[in-house]
Structure 1
Amino acid sequence: MTLTTLRFNQVTPGLDRREVSARYRATVEMAAFADAHGFDLVTLEEHHGADDGWSPSPLSTAAAVFGATRRIGVIVCALLTPLYEPLRLAEDVAVLDHLSGGRLTLVAGLGYRPEEYTALGKDWAQRGRLQDEVLETLLKAWTGEPFDHHGRTVRITPPPLTRPHPGLMVGGSSRVAVRRAVRLRLPFFTAAYLPDLVDLYDALAAEAGFEGGFASLPPERTAMIHCTEDPDKAWAEYGDCFLHEARTYAGWQTADVSSAMASTAATAEELRAEGIYACLTPDECLEVARSEGPLGTLLLHPLCGGLPVDAGWESLRLFADQVVPRLGGEPPSA
């Protein structure tokens, strides 16, 4: 059945403090609503020092979501793991794993903004080494057994609920990231539609005798959806919100970065034509689901780019009422 996902990054152009608070509260409340209405997944992100406050603390946000929900999963895509002290990260994620009952998945990313490394006192040139150290430390720490860390013996308790460890994937768009995933015996999450990297992962995993992994490949065309009865009106009212997010994200990209959400649009009209952001009626959402088949995804983005919270709720409720029940399953009782 089609995977139904909510994306949140709490973007607030202007950074009005009351509005920031409202958007974080709405994130948790919308996640609770989605949990009660049959959605499958919440996706969170991480960036630092963004002018619009783009999601600097996804683990804190995940904790709040888990406290308000009972069944929906949360994926942090991506957690910028080289920016973390690995022992504290191991503890935080182990606790989140217990609080959530095993509903947390992390995609470990390097990031692509050197200024984030500078702001947090990390060396951009050493990002690959830092990534290896953090991931290797997490895997050792989550065993619950003592291990050597920088010349001293440490032990992280409590061990996580999930065995052998909480959900952890290596994210990226490079052959180096693929090799890292196979070496660490972890799944690989491609940042864009890059089937050659999936083939490489499968080949290297076979050579290494690693049978428990997989590579996740996003659709060739990803659409972030605002569900509405009137797409033309929605684009007229909220196109600048969608464009704000698209232009911010594009401004962070470099030529060597591949992303399923990369846009070159300079206007709302160009953005609409690209199809990465889409205002769709319920029937159009269902048509997308039918075209992608049972392994497809519908990705709702109810607070996109500073979209008014009330408009986000209208989109979410319309989708829950008219799309989710027609995807093949009835929403669970609250």
Structure 2
Amino acid sequence: MAVTNLRFNQVTPGLDRADVASRYQATIEMAKFADKNGFDMVTLEEHHGAENGWSPSPLSTAGAVLGATDRIGVIISALLAPLYDPIRLAEDIAVLDNISGGRLSIVAGLGYRPEEYAGIGKDWKRRGKIQDEVIDTLLKAWTGEPFEYNGQTVRVTPRPFTDPHPMVMIGGTAKASVRRAVRFRLPFFAAAPLPELEQYYYELAAQEGFEGGFAMLPSAATKMVYCTEDPDKAWAEYGKYFLHEAETYAAWQTPDIESVMESSAHSVEALREEGIYACVTPDELIATAKSAGLTDAIILHPLCGGLPIDAGWASLQLFADKVMPHNKPE
């Protein structure tokens, strides 16, 4: 069986205010639907200053999703931790962890857009050091005990629900991120299928006597799925929305960054051929689910790139009706 995941980033080309509000509201309603229909995970993201409104406030969105659901997990992949005040971030995550009963996971990333740092008054050149300071502060804060911070003795309450702290993974595609994960005794989450980083993580952990950690890599076959009985028709009607998201994301990438989601397509036809975005029939998805391993995921992206909300609901409902009954342990 496959892990079933819903991805949301509330992209809204044109930023019509009513459309923006509708997409955030649809995010919550779709998450409730997924919760009731056995889906495993909701994935949220973080970017700032995007012309299409790409998900600037994932903690707020996570709170709304977690408050509206009972069992589904929420992962923020990635939370740009250096952009936050560490004490407030520790408090916010601890409260969300209590609200959800431990259903929130965080991938702490650095980001790759200097303008996001500039817009929030953070020093891009110090991002690695800031990340270290934030992670160190979070781990100390979540003990519930007093500790020294900026020359003052502080204490963060309440403690998280999860003991010893919520799931936090260090994200990245560089060895420096792996070293940070091992140094803080945390898991590592890669943004691309880079087995050399996975190997490096386990080698370094063994050298440091760190047991119990793990490295997670996305599959090279990762796809954003639109479930439909007629892929040709779906591509004809909705391909422009998939392309909008793909081109937006690709424009942010730099040569030193690797991502399983980076596209080189500049036409709907090329995007379809590339395979990162896929319109897939229920029968094909059933076959995928039956052959999947425990960590393989089917990722539905029901509001992708400004996709009409009713079209997103059609994909989600079809998947729940036709695919989910077959996505069970043998």
Length-normalised TM-score, structure 1: 0.98
Residue type of the partner of 2:260?
Answer: A
Residue type of the partner of 2:110?
Answer: L
* 2:261 equivalent in structure 1: 261
Q: Secondary structure at the match of 1:78?
A: strand
Deviations 1:129-166 (A, max 9, x none): 10000000000000000000011100000111101101
Matching of residue 63 in structure 1 with residue 54 in structure 2: no
Matching of residue 12 in structure 1 with residue 44 in structure 2: no
Deviations 1:254-304 (A, max 9, x none): 000000101000101000001100000001112222343343110000000
* 1:33 equivalent in structure 2: 33
Q: Secondary structure at the match of 1:71?
A: coil
* 1:124 equivalent in structure 2: 124
* 2:226 equivalent in structure 1: 226
For 1:167 and 1:65, locate their aligned partners in 2 and report how far apart those are by CA, in whole Å.
17
Deviations 1:74-106 (A, max 9, x none): 000000000000000000000000000000000
How much has 1:2 moved relative to structure 2? 1.1
Q: Secondary structure at the match of 2:67?
A: helix
For 1:291 and 1:243, locate their aligned partners in 2 and report how far apart those are by CA, in whole Å.
29
* 1:275 equivalent in structure 2: 275
For 2:293 and 2:145, locate their aligned partners in 1 and report how far apart those are by CA, in whole Å.
44
Deviations 1:9-41 (A, max 9, x none): 000000000000000000000000000000000
For 1:3 and 1:260, locate their aligned partners in 2 and report how far apart those are by CA, in whole Å.
17
* 1:98 equivalent in structure 2: 98
Q: Percent identity?
A: 67
Q: Secondary structure at the match of 2:169?
A: strand
Deviations 1:203-234 (A, max 9, x none): 00011111120000110121100000100000
How much has 1:329 moved relative to structure 2? 6.2
For 1:303 and 1:156, locate their aligned partners in 2 and report how far apart those are by CA, in whole Å.
37
How much has 1:5 moved relative to structure 2? 0.1
Count the aligned residue pairs. 330
For 1:298 and 1:110, locate their aligned partners in 2 and report how far apart those are by CA, in whole Å.
26
How much has 1:122 moved relative to structure 2? 0.3
Deviations 1:35-87 (A, max 9, x none): 00000000000000000000000000000001110000000000000000000
Matching of residue 322 in structure 1 with residue 327 in structure 2: no
Q: Secondary structure at the match of 1:323?
A: helix
* 1:155 equivalent in structure 2: 155
For 2:267 and 2:315, locate their aligned partners in 1 and report how far apart those are by CA, in whole Å.
23
- Poorly superposed stretches of 4+, deviation over 6 Å: none
For 1:210 and 1:6, locate their aligned partners in 2 and report how far apart those are by CA, in whole Å.
33
* 2:293 equivalent in structure 1: 293
For 1:294 and 1:227, locate their aligned partners in 2 and report how far apart those are by CA, in whole Å.
21
For 2:55 and 2:89, locate their aligned partners in 1 and report how far apart those are by CA, in whole Å.
17
* 1:52 equivalent in structure 2: 52
Matching of residue 73 in structure 1 with residue 95 in structure 2: no
Structure 1 unmatched runs, 5+: none
* 1:305 equivalent in structure 2: 305
Q: Secondary structure at the match of 1:75?
A: strand
How much has 1:114 moved relative to structure 2? 0.3
Residue type of the partner of 1:11?
Answer: V
Length-normalised TM-score, structure 2: 0.99
For 1:151 and 1:157, locate their aligned partners in 2 and report how far apart those are by CA, in whole Å.
19
Q: Secondary structure at the match of 1:206?
A: helix
For 2:176 and 2:57, locate their aligned partners in 1 and report how far apart those are by CA, in whole Å.
27
